[in-house]
Chains A and B, each alone.
Chain A
Amino acid sequence: MKTNQILIRYGELSTKGRNRKAFISRLRNNIQTLFAGTPTLRIKAERDRMFLFCDDEQGMEDIVSRLPYVFGIQSFSPVTQTSLELDDMKHTALAIVSKMDTKDKSFKVSVKRPNKEFPYEKPEIMRTIGGYVLGNTPELTVAMRNPDIDLNVEIRQDAAYMMAETIQGAAGLPIGAGGRALLMLSGGIDSPVAGYHMLKRGVRLELIHFFSPPFTTERAKEKVLDLAEKLSGFGAPVTLHIIPFTEIQQEVHKQVPDNITMTSTRRMMMRIADAVRAKTDAKAIITGESLGQVASQTLESLQAINAVTNTPILRPLIAQDKLEIIETAQAIGTYDISIRPFEDCCTIFTPANPKTKPKTDKVEHYESFVSFDEMIDRAVAEREIIEFPRNKQQRFEDLL
């Protein structure tokens, strides 16, 4: 007996009519990329489900532990293969069930028998396997309808295949199916969560971060690198663009009155983001803004900031509570990184009383005295580009 297959049930994508083929091949590619380190992995994609084959035990474990985070999968089940001996089958069945939580659970065996030469009929197979499992697992009860554990047995020509466990997938759409967008990543709690929501809708991410040394430290940057690493763990690589922002930020502070520096700074960021977006062929900009959370996130502020571009700005968190956002951040593992106490460029120059209802034309007026275009071009040209995932451990291969 060996568990060397995984059956994958597609998520939402099975309803997507003509695009289905593209979506399935996207999912297949994402899985292939994610498990590039498991060379024995083979993938067979069918119309309704996908099979992963892997004969290497360690590789299999790795796949089972990471698959729940791959978008486009409704659920999946590890499949165990045995010989066509009934004795073998019942022992395997027990081994599978005994690994599951059986306390107060109901149980049933379902048999499919496409191999018509198999000497036993369905009822006999069910009785033998079911009887053996129940006899050795006294806390199980039998339920023919909606059992907690449904042990599926399929008798094929070459072998018998069994599965009982259904592991929930992350649902959503395979990353890449939704095009590409640029996420403004500050290092705080919200932006990675916004990125996660868009990843789940199949959007491939480019990331942009504004770095203002010496006002923001290497540690703040490190935070962003770690967040980018996390965001690259959902089945698709991401690229991070780090923008040198000190010069522009200082210029803004020289030029505009204190209470609207914040609005103006955000407008500069948006202009830079839009330029980077165009260079990376992304179709939209994503932000972690949530209405009313801070001064820059009132409708008036959003309007003033938004006025610099026609590019769609996606704000998946706009109507979410902080607590909901925190919950997601914890679930996807970005929270602990985000709360590290290093300031990003948004918090460092915050005036005491920023305007919560800035007027777009006033802001434009103050900005008109300097040509920011040149500075923006320079910032875009001098950006640092880092690809993720980048394995930290690899850097220290000679030491560890």
Chain B
Amino acid sequence: MIYLDNSATTEPDPQVLETYVKASSRYFANPASLHRLGNEAEDLLESARSQIKGLLGYERVIFTSGGTEANNLAIRGAAYANQEKGRHIISCKTEHPSVLEPLKQLEKEGFEITLLSVDRKGAIDLAELQQALREDTILVSLMQVNNEIGTIHPLAAIRRMLNNHRALFHVDAVQGAGKLPLDEQEMPDLLTVSAHKLHGLKNSGILAVNKAQLEPILFGGGQESGLRSGTVSVPNAAALAKALRLATTIPDHLKWNAELRRFFSGYKDIYIVSPSGAAPHILAVAIAGMRGETLVGALQQEGVIVSTSSACSSKNKQASHVIEAIGLPREYRDGTIRISFGAMTTHEDIIELKKRFHKAHQTIKGVEQS
């Protein structure tokens, strides 16, 4: 089996699993308890937190149940905390649903939302962002790497623009964290990271915060400085810290990405959706006049696991909102598949993918033509 759906989720690193298992049995106590066991659990929790702070360069780290919750906390939390200053928020049409849906909710509550459009490459127009910025804009939320096609937003330029503006800058870095480290000039006020996209575990994420006012969106025992009630999972926190420490940029991804682009450009009916300069670990391509699912299925029969544009939207019948937004030519619109590499991907996988894709392509095109 060749697993190339790492942007949906990754296989946990055995070392991360070991941390999780050990921490679960050794440090099972509630870190808020007053006794010694609670103390030790809290020590581990805080050590994990400070390791993550150090790795990412942030002042505060709030543990959450994953990327979705971190995005919700960033957006709703910042919106409520800053609504005295203004009620306008800017984001983009190609953001993840865990950003777009909370924004829709806020819109119902009287906030004003501007969604930037994108070009064929999935890129925003900085001039459009500049124009959209208003006196009462309190938050700009943009992802680092698009989860469906890999477009990288120009965070440094946006950061510079916002340095002279009161609006907070939130970046959903779920697809980029640990793979494409942020420069100091790019660092947003709020940063979302999810563990399971970097060979960590599901149900575990963080929101990293630098100098930003937030309101909680979950209420209860006041854990995480009141910003995220609920007993913190110490094993998850430790495992996330470990996964983030082990995560690195993999230079080979760039080579393999180029290799696959060359390969796919040899097919007349294949359109390479990911723009050049996109994240190296994500490559979306579309096949003309055919549904992505068909290709995904055919590849699966050959033992290769890829997905349609994204796992989240792949169960919907319509083309995804990202494919919609970049205005893919009609004949390709339903035919997008996404190939995504992880730390465990090897060059053999890439060679095999090419071979088996060729076979799968022949099979389905054969059906069509006969």
| A interface with B by C-beta (< 8 Å) | 217-219, 222, 342, 392-393, 395-396, 398-400
**Contact segment of B38-46, B161-169, B283-291, B307-315:** B38-46
* CB < 8 Å neighbour of A218 from B22, B34, B51: B34
CB–CB A218/B242 < 8 A: no
| Contacting residues, chain B, for A392 (C-beta < 8 A) | 43, 46-47
| B interface with A by C-beta (< 8 Å) | 19, 22-23, 34-36, 38-39, 42-44, 46-48, 50-51, 238, 241-242, 245
Q: Output the least CB separation between A335 and chain B (Å).
A: 15
Other contacts beyond A217-B35, A218-B36, A398-B22: 17, CB < 8 A: A218-B35, A218-B39, A219-B34, A222-B39, A222-B42, A392-B43, A393-B47, A393-B50, A396-B44, A399-B19, A399-B44, A399-B238, A400-B19, A400-B48, A400-B51, A400-B238, A400-B241
* CB < 8 Å neighbour of B43 from A217, A342, A395, A398: A395
CB–CB B47/A395 < 8 A: yes
CB–CB A396/B35 < 8 A: no
| Contacting residues, chain A, for B242 (C-beta < 8 A) | 399-400
Q: How far is the CA of A222 from the CA of B46 in the complex (A)?
A: 13
Q: Output the least CB separation between B224 and chain A (Å).
A: 15
| Contacting residues, chain A, for B50 (C-beta < 8 A) | 393
Q: How far is the CA of A395 from the CA of B36 in the complex (A)?
A: 15
Most A Cβ at <10 Å: residue of B39, B47, B51: B47
| Contacting residues, chain A, for B47 (C-beta < 8 A) | 392-393, 395-396, 400
Report the nearest A residue to B50, measured CB to CB: A393
The 10 closest A-B pairs by CB, nearest first: A393-B47, A217-B34, A399-B19, A218-B36, A219-B34, A218-B39, A396-B47, A400-B241, A399-B238, A392-B47
Q: Output the least CB separation between B26 and chain A (Å).
A: 8
Q: How far is the CA of A100 from the CA of B96 in the complex (A)?
A: 39
Q: How far is the CA of A127 from the CA of B324 in the complex (A)?
A: 59
Q: How far is the CA of A398 from the CA of B38 in the complex (A)?
A: 20
Q: How far is the CA of A396 from the CA of B23 in the complex (A)?
A: 10
Q: Output the least CB separation between B244 and chain A (Å).
A: 10
Report the nearest A residue to B27, measured CB to CB: A399
Q: Output the least CB separation between A399 and chain B (Å).
A: 5
Q: How far is the CA of A392 from the CA of B50 in the complex (A)?
A: 10
* CB < 8 Å neighbour of A399 from B23, B38, B39: B23
| Contacting residues, chain B, for A400 (C-beta < 8 A) | 19, 47-48, 51, 238, 241-242, 245
| Contacting residues, chain B, for A395 (C-beta < 8 A) | 43, 47
Q: Can you sample 27 A-B contacts with CB below 8 Å?
A: A217-B34, A218-B34, A218-B35, A218-B36, A218-B38, A222-B39, A222-B42, A342-B34, A392-B46, A393-B47, A393-B51, A395-B43, A395-B47, A396-B43, A396-B44, A396-B47, A396-B48, A396-B238, A398-B22, A399-B19, A399-B22, A399-B44, A399-B238, A400-B19, A400-B47, A400-B238, A400-B242
Report the nearest A residue to B239, measured CB to CB: A399
Q: How far is the CA of A202 from the CA of B42 in the complex (A)?
A: 34
Q: How far is the CA of A34 from the CA of B275 in the complex (A)?
A: 49
| Contacting residues, chain B, for A399 (C-beta < 8 A) | 19, 22-23, 44, 238, 242
Q: How far is the CA of A400 from the CA of B23 in the complex (A)?
A: 10
Report the nearest A residue to B237, measured CB to CB: A400
| Contacting residues, chain B, for A393 (C-beta < 8 A) | 47, 50-51
Q: How far is the CA of A393 from the CA of B47 in the complex (A)?
A: 5
Report the nearest A residue to B48, measured CB to CB: A400
Q: How far is the CA of A219 from the CA of B42 in the complex (A)?
A: 10
Q: Output the least CB separation between A384 and chain B (Å).
A: 13
| Contacting residues, chain B, for A342 (C-beta < 8 A) | 34
| Contacting residues, chain A, for B23 (C-beta < 8 A) | 399
Q: How far is the CA of A342 from the CA of B34 in the complex (A)?
A: 9
Q: Output the least CB separation between B201 and chain A (Å).
A: 14
| Contacting residues, chain A, for B22 (C-beta < 8 A) | 398-399
Report the nearest A residue to B22, measured CB to CB: A399
| Contacting residues, chain A, for B19 (C-beta < 8 A) | 399-400
Q: How far is the CA of A13 from the CA of B345 in the complex (A)?
A: 60
Q: How far is the CA of A396 from the CA of B35 in the complex (A)?
A: 19
Q: How far is the CA of A172 from the CA of B5 in the complex (A)?
A: 59
Report the nearest A residue to B19, measured CB to CB: A399
Q: Output the least CB separation between A177 and chain B (Å).
A: 32
Q: Output the least CB separation between B18 and chain A (Å).
A: 9
Q: Output the least CB separation between B23 and chain A (Å).
A: 6
Q: How far is the CA of A247 from the CA of B12 in the complex (A)?
A: 52
Q: How far is the CA of A396 from the CA of B46 in the complex (A)?
A: 11
